[in-house]
Each structure stands twice: as C-alpha cells, then as structure tokens.
C-alpha cells in the first residue's frame, strides 16, 4: 500500500508523516518518507524482513 502526504513541508505535513511513521513501526512495516533513504534506514528495512 502506498500513502502519500502531499504538501509543502509545513508543521501539519510533518506531524502527519510522524504519525504515519509511528503506526507503520508499530505494525512492523517499512516506511519511506521521500528523498533518498539513509544507509542506516536501508539496513533497518533489510534486517527487519
């Protein structure tokens, strides 16, 4: 499933992304929030699988 938060990066957008991230982590799902993920984040995704 893909969820996209389209916005300018305002506080509401950032809060929405943080909430989605919390829920994804609680369910053991990977989340990519735009841009190129950091090496450490990629390692977390791959070791969680």
Question: Over its length of 49 residues, how does the chain's per-residue pLDDT go in tens digits?
Answer: 677 777 777 898 889 888 888 888 898 887 766 666 678 887 887 887 5
Q: Are 28 and 47 in contact (CB under 8 A)?
A: no
Question: What pLDDT was estimated at residue 9?
Answer: 78
Model's pTM, two decimal places?
0.56
Alpha carbon distance 11, 39 (integer Å)? 26
Q: Are 17 and 5 in contact (CB under 8 A)?
A: yes
Question: What pLDDT was estimated at residue 30?
Answer: 74
Which residue in this structure is represented by tokens 């090496």?
Answer: 39
Question: What pLDDT was estimated at residue 27?
Answer: 86
Report residue 13 as tokens: 């957008």
Question: What pLDDT was estimated at residue 47?
Answer: 84
Question: What pLDDT was estimated at residue 36?
Answer: 67
């Amino acid at each position: 499933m893909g969820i996209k938060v389209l916005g300018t990066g305002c506080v509401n957008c950032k809060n929405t992304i943080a909430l989605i991230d919390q829920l994804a982590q609680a369910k053991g799902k990977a989340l990519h929030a735009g841009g190129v993920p950091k090496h450490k984040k990629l390692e977390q995704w791959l070791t969680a699988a």
